Every structure is written in structure tokens, then in C-alpha cells.
Amino acid sequence: METQQEMEIMARASTLLLPVLFKNVERLNTIDFLRTDQDPEEQMNLEAEGLKERPSNDAYSSTGTTQAIATLAGLAPAPFLEKLFRKLIRRLLEETQAQGDSREKLCTLLNLAQALVASKALDDSSVSLLYRTTKPMIRSDEHGSKVQKLSYKVLAEICRCHNSYIMGDKNLKELVDLLTGAAVTSQVSARTMRIKCIGILVNGFQHGRLSDLVCLLTRMMNDVFVVFS
């Protein structure tokens, strides 16, 4: 009984804390959550965009905040979480169609979306909506390499946390079509996340689906060599 009461308290607290944490991430307004062990290829891409210095402490604060969001979202009441998620999707769609430079806002919203996916609390309809929303940003580099990279990160999180959804016959074919079709437009900074998506797909195949795996490997042969190299 005590545990149940504690869960109810946490659920109520999440409805108060999550909006505050969302606003905090937006306030920090980080374009990307960079690592200290950044690879040379990524550093070269950053310098090409005029970002030669290490990120401020705000970047690391945002990472901790999104981790807190992922944890609290798993405790939030389903109706509240769905409302919060739908608002996030609406804002994502608005920013993709906005005039002017909306890259920073898109990156912030994509990081928030990734945190909600990481909570594993979204249902299949919400995952499907997010997938459809991020697809155009994966296919095109119209909004810049950072937006494309974060779109791939959201996709990788979907593959990791909602593997059963992704491995459905229809969804799997659509995802393979997306990844193979986006090879030409994928920026250097998005390459690692793209390969991560492929690796998750390859590892997600169950026994008895050998023909599907062979088909996937055939279509993505060049990328698969990178995964296992």
C-alpha cells in the first residue's frame, strides 16, 4: 500500500515537474549535446559550422534535464503524457514550416522528443506519429546537419525502445526504405546515428526471419560493412 501511495504521489508530481523541465531545456537552448570524446570527423563538421569551442556547462545541464524527463515521463499519467506529447509534435511541425532559421528550436524539440521515447511510456500510435514527423528531417538536410543528426538520434531511440513496433513487417519495410533512400542526403555528422539504427535493426531480427535479414543486408550492404568493421 505504501509503495502504491508513493507511485501516486510521483505521478502527481510528474504533472507539475515535466512542464518545468521542458521549459528549462528550452531556456538552455542548446543546439547539440556534445561529448568530450568527440571524434575528429564530428569536430571537423562543427568547425565548418563555426562552432570551434567546447559547449558551455548549460549543454551538460540540459543532458541531465532530459534524463530526468525520461524518468518522470515513465511515471506520468497516460492522458497527461499524451497531451504533452501532442503539444510537442505540434510545435515540431510548426517549426519545420516556419520562415527563417529555426534550427535551434528544432534541435531543442527533437531532444525533448528523444527523452519521451526513452521513457518507454509512449504507445504505438504516438511512436508512429513521431516517426512520421521526423522522416522529412531524415530524408533532407534542408534544416542543417545538426537537425538531421538529432532526427536520426530520435529514430535510433525508437528502434531501441520500441523494437517490437519497428520490427513489424510493414514498419520494417518502410524503415529500410527510409534508411536506404536517405543514404545520399545523410550528412557526415549524422553517419554514426544512421549506422546505429542499422545495427539495432540487424540485432533485432529473431530466429525464423532469415529471409528478411538477408534482404535487409543485401539492400544495406555498404552500411553493414561499417557496422561490423
Lowest mean pLDDT among 50-59, 96-105, 165-174: 50-59
For the chain, what is the mean pLDDT? 79
What is residue 216's predicted lDDT score, i.e. its pLDDT? Answer: 67
Asked if 102 contacts 95 with a C-beta cutoff of 8 angstroms, the reply is yes
Q: pLDDT class for 185, splitting at 50, 70, 90?
A: confident
Mean per-residue pLDDT for 9-37? 75
Higher pLDDT, 149 or 186: 149
What is residue 50's predicted lDDT score, i.e. its pLDDT? Answer: 46
- 85-132 pLDDT, tens digit per residue, is 999 999 999 999 887 778 888 999 999 999 999 999 999 999 999 999
What is residue 172's predicted lDDT score, i.e. its pLDDT? Answer: 83
Q: pLDDT class for 2, splitting at 50, 70, 90?
A: low
What is residue 212's predicted lDDT score, i.e. its pLDDT? Answer: 65
pLDDT at 54 over 50: no
Lowest mean pLDDT among 31-45, 56-70, 127-141, 196-210: 31-45
How many domains in the chain? 1
List, as one string, the DSSP characters of the chain. Answer: -HHHHHHHHHHHHHHHHHHHHHHHHHHH--S----TT--HHHHHHHHHTT--SPPPHHHHHHHHHHHHHHHHHTTS-HHHHHHHHHHHHHHHHHHHT-SS--HHHHHHHHHHHHHHHHTT---HHHHHHHHHHHHHHHH--TT-HHHHHHHHHHHHHHHHH-HHHHTSHHHHHHHHHHHHHTTTT--GGGHHHHHHHHHHHHHHPPTT-HHHHHHHHHHTHHHHHHHH-
- In the chain, the percentage of residues whose pLDDT exceeds 70 is 74
**Domain with 98 in it:** 2-228
